[in-house]
A = this chain, B = another copy of it.
């Protein structure tokens, strides 16, 4: 029996083969994401992986709706597996915002789902770091959010040579659009053309732009000029003051596909252009009002960064750490008469937070040693004497081969000092 197409299993390292997904790499990414978000004062939230379908259809671009993983449940409700986190966040904020002083900064690491026609290697789920700031109109919030995005990638070892944030503005594009086309209802259609302009044949884009009353040339000139608005300038200055100026540039070729963005928008790309976008986000000042049925009106902005493209990028840049040392100590039980006392030693080490393993059943000494090495143990420990008050343990460092005989209370320090 096999898993569903487009879904992933995550196995422990070392992986049997390279096309499997690593639970250890996933944990490494999640840990760095969490630590960086917390260093910025972002607080964790989460919502259900299932939501009423309506939450996503109320104001998502048509593109998202066609990709929804939706179904009817046993209670005849229309349900969708969440394709993105922002509508859930907006729903949660609308319900409880009064209790949280503005602006507030929240993060989450949800699993998200979509149901597209199956393509080779295309996944139907991924995990995504979501970071949002609620209740601040000033562009200082946009800068804070983008700095967090940059530092989340830096925390994984990526540098300004590896990635760049392409900063753009829905406002700039809206002004561009309004100057040339009086029919505001067609703005989203126009944004969709811009969103795909890099991936579309020029003639095709030109044709669509022409229908909307634009020339391909004027659009491309506007992108090429890349003249920052005052708002973008202040974001760039703020990022520069943090010493992160090398990580950002204005690029009006970015506009973001979703309908709900209102102000600055941005995407993170690898510099070599080998991968799809690593992350993307922007302002969505009207979404909370919409989701709350007009009751709550709060400015907001956020970004999402998925684990799939990021994992590929980390592998390509050799930034996946070795997951070699999987336990700290393997307790050797060479004499079965000492098993009971050795179990006490195992328990003592584990209670001190030292990851410890041993052979559950009787095993020859050299086999136990082999097992210790297979498990990536840093040390072996063997009970030499279990006399009450005078217990002695032989501790061997498997890297340096150094052996020492210690009292149990000296063990933890000796193990920890070896890093």
Complex CA distance for A349 and B118, rounded to whole angstroms: 46
User: Cβ of A98 < 8 Å from any Cβ of B?
Assistant: yes
> How far, in Å, is A90 (CB) from chain B's closest CB?
9
Contact of A241 among B73, B243, B344 (CB under 8 A): B344
Complex CA distance for A147 and B343, rounded to whole angstroms: 11
Contact of A347 among B14, B111, B243 (CB under 8 A): B243
Type the 1/0 row for A11-28, where 1 means its CB is closer than 8 Å to any CB of B.
Answer: 111111000100110110
Complex CA distance for A109 and B144, rounded to whole angstroms: 32
Interface stretch (choices A36-44, A207-215, A271-279) = A36-44
User: Cβ of A354 < 8 Å from any Cβ of B?
Assistant: yes
Complex CA distance for A242 and B10, rounded to whole angstroms: 32
- Closest B residue, CB atoms, query A118: B75
Complex CA distance for A371 and B102, rounded to whole angstroms: 10
| Contacts from A to B (Cβ < 8 Å) | 1-4, 7-16, 20, 23-24, 26-27, 35-36, 38-41, 43-52, 54-55, 58, 69-75, 77, 79, 81, 91-92, 95-96, 98-101, 103, 106, 111, 115, 118, 125, 136, 138, 140-141, 144, 147, 151, 237-238, 241-244, 291-293, 326-327, 339-341, 343-344, 346-347, 350-351, 353-357, 360-361, 371, 374-375
A-B contacts, 21 of them at CB < 8 A, read: A1-B54, A1-B58, A1-B291, A1-B292, A9-B45, A9-B46, A10-B45, A11-B92, A12-B43, A15-B99, A20-B96, A23-B45, A27-B44, A39-B350, A39-B354, A71-B71, A71-B79, A73-B115, A74-B115, A101-B371, A237-B340
Closest 10 CB pairs of A and B: A16-B99, A41-B357, A12-B43, A7-B48, A241-B340, A241-B343, A140-B360, A71-B71, A242-B347, A10-B46
